[in-house]
Amino acid sequence: MKSHRGFVWVAVAAAVASLSIAALTELLGCGIAAGGRSEWLVLRLAIYTIGAVGVIVLGWTCHRFDGVVASTAMLLTRRDPQSSQEATIPEVEELPEAVKAYVAAREALVEQQQKDLCDLQIRARLAERQKRQTEAILYSLRDGVVVVDELERLIMANEPAAQLLGFDPEAARGEPIAKVCGEIHKDFVEFLHQSALSKAEGTRREMVFASPEQLRTFDTIVSCVQEGQKTSGVVAVLHDITREKEVAQMKNDFVSHVSHELKTPLASITAYSEMLMDGEANDEETRKEFYGIIQTQAERLNRLIEDILNISRIESGLIKVAKEPVSLTILIEQQMNMIQKYAQEKNITVTRQTPIVCDQVYADKDMMSQVIVNLLSNAVKYTPPGGSVRVAAEVDETGDCVRVTVTDTGVGIPEEELKNLFGKFYRVAANNKHAKGTGLGLNLVKQIVEKVHNGRVFVTSKVGVGSTFGFELPLAAAELATAAV
Amino acid sequence: MTGNKVLIADDEIHIIHVVAIKLRNNGYDVVSANNGAEAYDLACQEHPDVVVTDYQMPLMTGIELIEKLRANEATRDIPVILLTARSFAITEEQQESLGVATCLSKPFSPKELLKSIQDIIYQRQLTAAP
């Protein structure tokens, strides 16, 4: 259309110009006829040449003008800039409408783009908020979290992870994780690397990390973040299982200890029974001795099982408690008599301070007997031959509670072990060689005194000098008065 | 009378008592110790033909006693029977490397212990015979 219109313009211009020049030339020819003919020929040639050039220039200009009009018309008349269809080029008389349409379309486009921009801004704010919420969650976790990108550079790490791996999370952002963690944690870095290569969704491994206080074990889970076929990053979560491992180990040790303790009296019972059945006890006296041993060992076995069960019952709150006013002096006396034989075998003297007058406590007699005998037997067990054990009871300054102490000249306990002493299954490693035990006795003492009787246990000790174990209980009068209020 | 001597090491006096009765009734001489350290000293003095030791004892455990016996040229070749109340206390490899002749679990049968001692002494006599 454009080129066709152009040619029309040129043709019209050429026709007009030709006619004009011919007319002019004829008019000039008539006037010059009287003159020389050759000069007239040159003049006519010159005029025709100038005319032809002028026509060409005129035609080209029209053509260009036509192109500008066509382009402008196209811009003005296009309704949809994104449309692939060619717009209708308006005629010149249609231009005002075309301009209006163009402006309206542009305004609509601007409005749409502003809307889109607004949407994008809202989404960006929402994304930023979600990011902050996610970061807040990650940063508040007690588990360590480390995130690296596809090039194994640190994207983020929360405080527990940073503390464990020894870096500043802000300063290390963007750095290669191998550089951030260093040689000391190369196993962890290698684990991340292998997981990224394998594109595994979740790989789990127990890893040990060195900290200033101790070696700590972490359950480490590493997952790849995939975008299509490409790994966009790796996330590692480190869950501290040190305490769980310790507890599991303590339980294993406990089971091992308990089975040993249970099997020992059982071994005696079995062996003596077999001897009796095989007639190895030659006389009545020997047989009686064997029967007696079987009986005491069976009782020992029973006590051990009861200890284990009692601890379990106290902890679960299922134990039956029969509280009554009880004289601590009498209880102490009774248990001292029971322990005397054992003490004499080791040449240990067990003495008691002058009994106090006000010693009545509101307590379960059997349980308190257990407490006192446990403390006494421990004192004798861990005191070398020739040593001494002293039992004392006194009313405290307030007059509301009675304090009982058992002091020995035994091997003593290291300071750092005192806080764990009343824990279940806990045994002082350094004292294992001096005596055996299940690690239940003191725990049972604590459970009975504190949980059942609202009292308090305590211990002081010095290695090589001895230990003082004790407990406090409310006096019966004070307890009953409190109950009445 | 066999004339053979057996050292029993256990911190449980009743175990020592019942084993001693069984062995003496069958002609063995018996010496006893309540802990590993005492047992080692007795082994050096008495040169028993067999040592029967508990696994867990105060001052020195049964394993520590065996290691010490093996380290001493005078006691290196004494056969040892280990008594233990712990399950899986010692693996077969450990048993072999320590030279433990037999491992008996508690509660054990005195008859079975006697048979083990008899077998060990018989084997040594066969080995020692020209």
Q: What is the CATH number of the domain that holds A473?
A: 3.30.565.10
Q: Any chain B CB within 8 A of the CB of A471?
A: no
HEC states along B47-60? Answer: CCCEEEEECCCCCC
What pLDDT, in 10s, does the model give residues B61-70? 899 999 999 9
Q: How confident is the model at residue A1 (pLDDT cuts 50, 70, 90)?
A: very low
- Which residue of A262, A272, A383 is the best one to mutate when testing the B interface, meaning the one whose CB has the most B CBs within 10 A? A272
Closest CA relative to residue B39, chosen from B73, B23, B16? B16
Mean pLDDT, residues A112-126 taken together: 95
Q: CB-based burial of residue A149 (10 Å sphere; 0-12 exposed, 13-18 middle, 19+ buried)? A: middle
Q: Any chain B CB within 8 A of the CB of A253?
A: no
For position A309, which CATH number holds?
A: 1.10.287.130
CB B37 within 8 A of CB B60: yes
In this complex, the residue of A263, A275, A280 whose CB is nearest that of residue B107 is: A263
Q: Are residues A210 and A256 in the same domain?
A: no
**Where among A116, A140, A164 does a domain terminate?**
A140
Q: Any chain B CB within 8 A of the CB of A298?
A: no
CA distance A43 to A49: 10
Q: Is the pLDDT of residue A241 over 80?
A: yes
Mean pLDDT, residues A267-284 taken together: 93
Indicate the range of A118-132, A216-230, A344-358, A405-419 predicted with least confidence. Answer: A344-358
Nearest CA in chain B to A270: B107
User: Which pair of structure tokens corresponds to residue A294?
Assistant: 């079987």
Amino acid A423: pLDDT: 82
Q: Any chain A CB within 8 A of the CB of B106?
A: yes
Range of the domain at A67: 1-140
Q: Any chain B CB within 8 A of the CB of A263?
A: yes
Indicate the range of A61-70, A247-256, A453-462 predicted with least confidence. Answer: A61-70
Q: Any chain A CB within 8 A of the CB of B88?
A: no
Higher local confidence (pLDDT), A70 or A132: A132
Q: How confident is the model at residue A51 (pLDDT cuts 50, 70, 90)?
A: confident
Q: Show Cβ contacts of residue B42 under 8 Å, excluding neighbours closer than 6 positions.
A: B7, B31, B33, B48
CA distance A221 to A241: 13
Higher local confidence (pLDDT), A336 or A3: A336
- Which residue of B10, B16, B18 is the best one to mutate when testing the A interface, meaning the one whose CB has the most A CBs within 10 A? B18
Q: Are residues A421 and A475 in the same domain?
A: yes
Q: Are residues A390 and A430 in the same domain?
A: yes
Query: In the predicted model, what is the mean pLDDT of chain B?
Result: 90
Q: Any chain A CB within 8 A of the CB of B15?
A: yes
In this complex, the residue of A256, A434, A436 whose CB is nearest that of residue B86 is: A256
What pLDDT, in 10s, does the model give residues B48-62? 999 999 988 877 889
Higher local confidence (pLDDT), A126 or A65: A126
Q: Strand pairing partners for A403?
A: A394, A472
Q: CB-based burial of residue A393 (10 Å sphere; 0-12 exposed, 13-18 middle, 19+ buried)? A: buried
Q: Are residues A163 and A223 in the same domain?
A: yes
Percent of chain A with pLDDT over 90: 44
What pLDDT, in 10s, does the model give residues A439-457? 788 999 999 999 999 999 9
Closest CA relative to residue A468, chosen from A413, A405, A420, A416? A405
What pLDDT, in 10s, does the model give residues B21-35? 999 999 999 999 988
Task: Test A267 with B22 for CB contact under 8 angstroms.
Answer: no
Q: From chain B, pick out residues whose CB is under 8 angstroms from the CB of A435.
A: 58
User: Which pair of structure tokens corresponds to residue A14?
Assistant: 């050429």
Query: In the predicted model, what is the mean pLDDT of chain A?
Result: 83
Taking the CA atoms of residue A471, residue A323, residue A300 and residue A372 in that order, the dihedral angle to the nearest 10 degrees is: 20
Higher local confidence (pLDDT), A250 or A298: A298
Amino acid B88: pLDDT: 59
Q: Are residues A47 and A158 in the same domain?
A: no
Q: How confident is the model at residue A62 (pLDDT cuts 50, 70, 90)?
A: low
Mean pLDDT, residues A64-69 taken together: 58
Q: Is the pLDDT of residue A158 over 50?
A: yes
Q: How confident is the model at residue B47 (pLDDT cuts 50, 70, 90)?
A: very high
Q: How confident is the model at residue A7 (pLDDT cuts 50, 70, 90)?
A: low
Q: Are residues A32 and A93 in the same domain?
A: yes
ipTM, two decimals, is: 0.93
CA distance A348 to A340: 9
CA distance A414 to chain B (A): 18
**Where among A140, A163, A178 does a domain terminate?**
A140
Q: Are residues A16 and A116 in the same domain?
A: yes
Domain count, chain A: 4
Task: Test A259 with B19 for CB contact under 8 angstroms.
Answer: no
3-state DSSP helix/strand/coil % of chain A, to nearest 5: 60, 20, 25
Q: Is the pLDDT of residue A257 over 80?
A: no
What angle in degrees, to the nearest 10, is found between the helix axes of A242-277 and B110-128?
Answer: 90
Q: Is the pLDDT of residue B1 over 50?
A: no
CB atoms within 10 A of CB A410: 26
Q: Are residues A343 and A479 in the same domain?
A: yes
> 214-243 in A: which are within 8 Å (CB) of B?
none
Strands B29-33 and A154-157: what pairing? Answer: unpaired
In this complex, the residue of B59, B107, B109 whose CB is nearest that of residue A266 is: B107
Map tokens 């783009």 to a residue.
Answer: A113
Mean pLDDT, residues A406-433 taken together: 82
Size of interface A-B (CB pairs under 8 A): 68
Mean pLDDT, residues A183-208 taken together: 89
Q: What is the DSSP string of A22-46?
A: HHHHHHHHHHHTTS-HHHHHHHHHH
Mean pLDDT, residues A368-389 taken together: 93
The CATH homologous superfamily to which domain B5-128 belongs is Response regulator (3.40.50.2300)
Amino acid A479: pLDDT: 63
Q: Show Cβ contacts of residue A30 under 8 Å, excluding neighbours closer than 6 positions.
A: none
Higher local confidence (pLDDT), A341 or A29: A341
Q: Is the pLDDT of residue A84 over 80?
A: no
Higher local confidence (pLDDT), A111 or A479: A111
- Which residue of B14, B83, B114 is the best one to mutate when testing the A interface, meaning the one whose CB has the most A CBs within 10 A? B14
Task: Test A274 with B111 for CB contact under 8 angstroms.
Answer: yes
Strand ranges for A127-241 from DSSP E = 144-149, 154-157, 203-210, 215-227, 230-240
Task: Test A268 with B14 for CB contact under 8 angstroms.
Answer: yes
Q: Using the CB atoms, write b or e for A258-293: b if 16+ within 10 Å.
A: bebbbbbbbbbbbbbebbeeeebbeeeeebeebeeb
